[in-house]
Amino acid sequence: MEFDLENPLISNEDDLISDLFAAESDHMSSFAGNVTQASRQNAVSLIIQAQFTWNLDPFLSYLAVNYIDRFLSKREIPSGKPWIERLLTIACLSLASKMKKVDFCLADLQRDEGFIFDGQTIHRMEMLVLGTLEWRMRSITPFCFINYFIAFFKPDQLPYLEALKNRALETLFLAQNEIKILEFKPSLIAASALLSAANELFPIQFNAFKSAISASEFVHKEKLSECLSVMIDVAMDSCESTFEMISSSNTPVTVLRGAHDLSATESDLTVGSKSDDRNVKKRRTAAALSGLRLKPN
């Protein structure tokens, strides 16, 4: 059975949500030391590069990054050995593809690169990753909690709900590059992604949405505000980067959207200056925030 990031546990019990919240801490990552952070940045860059080069499923890439994060939180890659970072990346992509039942050629991932690994070497690294993660490959990620938190939103029409979820998913994919986000539980990351999307798409209803989510028995209000701050910064940076791409290129918007498929709202399509757009977003943000031998770490 293909692993579904939105339904990681094999259970039909009514307390599935409680099980997810109870187990999410076992799937978190934490980093100590600049070497580990640098290794993480390099590995994630390789994952993203592979995703766009080979048109990989973004959920597969996200799962591979999750494996890398959890691995690096327990083991440190020696500095000056980039080949280990590349081998780890290939191994995690391979494991994620097996979980998602997606076939692709590992040789393609190593094309035109300086390091070429044979199947046996990749398999040994896979086994090291599996052992380090204690074979917990059905990762609990923010995607598991999206449907739980989206039930707190009560828009009048279903298309609004779909737009909210789609923008939240886009923000989650963008946020995997931000190491600060790893300080928070997956559930808080999911809630923050939805609130960030609401802040963009439905600012009038935002405070009601935030109050409803904050009232959940599973949510730590202060941590939610901290995580939301990081998530809104990620969303703002992505919007500004897209604006710069559009302003400096004659490429049609429909082509540019292929990179991140950012949602457009009526306010996004309003003609105005970049500084005006940024000021509006800053005001929204302020309002939102107020209401193969690796040694263990």
Question: In this predicted model, what pLDDT tens digit does every residue of 46-81 receive, in sequence order?
Answer: 898 888 888 889 999 999 999 999 999 988 888 778
pLDDT value of position 248 = 47
Which has more confidence, 9 or 247?
9
Same domain flag for 106 and 147: no
> Based on the structure, what is the number of domains in the chain?
2
pLDDT value of position 118 = 86
Res. 178: pLDDT tops 80 = yes
Residue 11 — pLDDT band, cuts 50, 70, 90? low
Model confidence pLDDT, tens digit, residues 134-171 = 999 999 999 999 999 998 887 666 678 899 999 999 99
Residue 111 — pLDDT band, cuts 50, 70, 90? low
Domain range for 212 is 142-290
Assigned domain for 100 exists: yes
Q: Mean pLDDT highest for which of 46-50, 80-84, 218-222, 245-249?
A: 218-222
Q: How far apart are CA 54 and CA 48, in angstroms?
A: 10
Assigned domain for 154 exists: yes
Q: How far apart are CA 275 and CA 159, in angstroms?
A: 31
The pTM is what? 0.78
Residue 274 — pLDDT band, cuts 50, 70, 90? very low
Same domain flag for 175 and 80: no
pLDDT value of position 55 = 86
How far lies 121's CA from each of 44, 62, 91, 128, in Å? Answer: 21, 23, 9, 11
CB atoms within 10 A of CB 271: 5
Q: How far apart are CA 197 and CA 203, in angstroms?
A: 9
Last residue of a domain, one of 100, 132, 164: 132
Assigned domain for 17 exists: no
Res. 270: pLDDT tops 70 = no
Residue 8 — pLDDT band, cuts 50, 70, 90? confident
What crossing angle do the helices spanning 221-247 and 274-290 adopt, rounded to 10°? 170
Last residue of a domain, one of 109, 132, 155: 132
